[in-house]
A and B are shown apart, each in its own frame.
Chain A
Amino acid sequence: MDYMLNEDLLAIKEICIEIGEKHILPIRAELDEENKFPREIMNIIAQSDLFTIYIPEEYGGTGMGSMALAVATEELSRYCGGIAVSYAANALGAMPILLMGSEEQKKKYLPQLASGEKLCAFALTEPEAGSDAGGVKTRAIKDGDHYILNGTKQWITNGGEAQIYTVIALTDPERGARGASAFIVEDGTPGFSYGKKENKMGIRASATRELIFEDCRIPAENLISREGYGFMVAMKTLDNSRPGVAAQAVGIAQGALDEALKYSNERKQFGVKINSFQGLQFMLADMGTLIEAARALTYTAAGLIDSGAKNFNKVSAMAKVFASDVAMKVTTDAVQILGGYGYMKEYPVEKMMRDAKITQIYEGTNQIQRSVIAKAMIKEAHRK
């Protein structure tokens, strides 16, 4: 099913398939096993213009928007969820600049990101600030025409690999979330270093690392928007990026279903292919149906963002919740269909099951997302 994708979106899909078949499939198990960042693949992605799709044309991009990003992320995720998130995290990191950055900031940073010359990361989470993003402790104190940053960010995707970081820090701790501000910090700035690289359950090709700021001085012009707008920048960023996580989940699930379909057509028990058993057929049918539903919701959310809609956080959260729950179920069932082989590392579905789990957790846990959805629904119902 091509979802009536236009020529540009089909072109993106074809490029991702070519990258996946030729370059990701041969190395994904090794990257997973060795916890190794896919630098080569990022170079190929850059060369194929996939970093341009979420950057407007006036800043060196192709300006294709959220739907294009969803299609690319989904297709890459079909091959490797870890590589796909390393790609998509660039869009997440660039989002604060895209949404709220000044003209100077856009001109300076976006072309470097569009070309893939530099990678990007978004830094909000801290040891004590996960779902409660208002609990951020990292401080930014104004000192003349500089800000001085102190604190630690945790679990930052592309940490240590990216050159440009968008960081949320408190400029006015007394105002809590309203005292947060967003900053651009470049790799190599004195006082900015990296902590330990995490050893994760899944998406192991992606780099997840601590960022440490110790009297890190950055120019005042690196403030995104205004002081006190940091929390808003962060929330808008995540609302925009959630369809990306949903797309990642759809892709992982599709990859697992593809493997299950292939295996069940080859594996024989009791003298027949196991896909001739109705019990297994019903599993395949449910997996396929859930994936199509998740994909439709994901594309709806991405399309809504591209349409310029103001209120999309509900649908964006719904897509993320639904698609990630589908990914967990489908990958678990794929392991079940492959049976003992599915549990072994020689087959890719156990990796897919591990990769799927994070989609229920990051960019807002599914429990937080359900709160977001419910609050939005209740607000809508009572506005009338």
Chain B
Amino acid sequence: MKFVVAVKQVPDTAEVRIDPERGTLIRDGVPSIMNPFDTYALEEAMKWRDELGGVVTVITMGPPQAESVLREAISMGADDAILISDRAFAGADTWATSHTLAAAVAELGDVDAVFFGKQAIDGDTAQTGPSVAASLDWPQITFVGKVRELNKDFITAERYVETGMQIVQAELPVVLTILKDANVPRVPSLRGKMKSRKVQIPVWKLSDLGLTEAETGLNGSPTKVVVTATPEARTGGQIHEGSTQELVARLADLLLGEGGEA
């Protein structure tokens, strides 16, 4: 089987603070990590590779330093990795990112499944996985809490959604987004770490993917951020005490705007 896992390097949100004045992230000195949800996607792909045989290729789109999350994935047991990096890709929204990732999956060829984490902890959109499926015109199963069955023809998976659990079957090739319920990601191995230090990671550029500048990066992104703002902090509520009758009367006054202290 040929599996691809798409990962993203994100700031460690446990360490990120927000500048309340400007409403922006304070990224200074914040370590970059592999998006935590992506570790479940990686584990799921490796679990099925271990069971069925094949290779797990990890891809990421990002600046040169994003290579470190690919090396981390290799230390955990991924077979190889590709960095998708070009100045032309900078400033991409989820549309342009998906378009670029889909081109990379197509370039790899004969891929059976692409695994994503359910969302990235920085943007929190949960759009890139589904959008790659749309770009490739492949079926997608999002919010996968458990893969019940996977073989060369089809997959049966459990989706955990707000209304309950859905059992979905799809033909391969398929795009999946994985929840943390699916597995416990393995610890990196010593041999994996040794390999990850030495391995050469190829870099794919715009020209390698057969895309144009108009389709990628900021140029290819319909999303325009107009303004970012921090919602006003909520003030504390009021506590009233008294008999039910008194409280009902007071509440009515307050709601009707006649209570002097509201």
A residues adjacent to B (C-beta < 8 A):
7-8, 11-12, 14-15, 18-19, 22-23, 44, 47-50, 52-53, 62
Contacts and interface: CB of A to CB of B under 8 A. Distances in A.
Contacts of B191: 49, 52, 62
A11 B190 contact: yes
20 contacts: A8-B194, A11-B193, A11-B194, A12-B190, A14-B193, A15-B187, A15-B188, A15-B193, A18-B187, A22-B187, A23-B187, A47-B189, A48-B186, A48-B190, A49-B189, A49-B190, A49-B192, A50-B190, A62-B190, A62-B191
Nearest to A40: B184
Most buried by A among B187, B188, B193, B197: B187
A3 to B, nearest CB: 18
Nearest to A68: B190
B187 A48 contact: yes
Contact of B188 (A7, A23, A48, A62): A48
B210 to A, nearest CB: 38
Contacts of B187: 15, 18-19, 22-23, 44, 47-48
Interface of B: 186-194, 197
A199 B190 CA distance: 34
Nearest to B197: A7
Nearest to B77: A47
Most buried by B among A14, A18, A48, A62: A48
Interface of A is mostly: helix
A50 B190 CA distance: 7
Contacts of A53: 190
Most buried by A among B186, B190, B192: B190
A223 to B, nearest CB: 33
Contacts of A48: 186-190
A300 B183 CA distance: 41
Contact of A52 (B190, B193, B197): B190
Contact of A14 (B188, B194, B197): B188
B231 to A, nearest CB: 32
Contacts of A22: 187
Contacts of A18: 187-188
A322 B188 CA distance: 33
Nearest to B185: A22
A324 B212 CA distance: 66
Contacts of A14: 188, 193
A48 B188 CA distance: 6
**Nearest 8 CB-CB pairs, A to B?**
A49-B190, A11-B193, A49-B189, A48-B187, A48-B189, A18-B187, A49-B191, A19-B187
B192 to A, nearest CB: 8
A23 B192 CA distance: 19
Nearest to B191: A49
A270 to B, nearest CB: 32
Nearest to A19: B187
Most buried by A among B192, B193, B194, B197: B193
Nearest to A72: B190
Contacts of A8: 190, 194
A23 B184 CA distance: 10
B145 to A, nearest CB: 20
Contacts of B188: 14-15, 18, 48
Contacts of B194: 8, 11, 62
Contacts of A12: 190
A19 B193 CA distance: 15
A22 B187 CA distance: 9
Contacts of B189: 15, 47-49
A18 B193 CA distance: 13
A53 B197 CA distance: 18
A7 B198 CA distance: 12
B56 to A, nearest CB: 16
A8 B197 CA distance: 10
A379 B22 CA distance: 74
A15 B192 CA distance: 11
A247 to B, nearest CB: 17
A150 to B, nearest CB: 41
A15 B190 CA distance: 7
Contacts of A50: 190
Nearest to A23: B187
B219 to A, nearest CB: 40
Nearest to A46: B189
Nearest to B193: A11
A22 B185 CA distance: 10
Nearest to A62: B190
Contacts of A44: 186-187
Given A11-B190, A15-B187, A15-B189, 5 more contacts: A11-B193, A18-B187, A44-B187, A49-B190, A52-B191
B71 to A, nearest CB: 12
Nearest to A8: B194
A37 B80 CA distance: 36
Nearest to A12: B190
B195 to A, nearest CB: 11
Contacts of A62: 190-191, 194
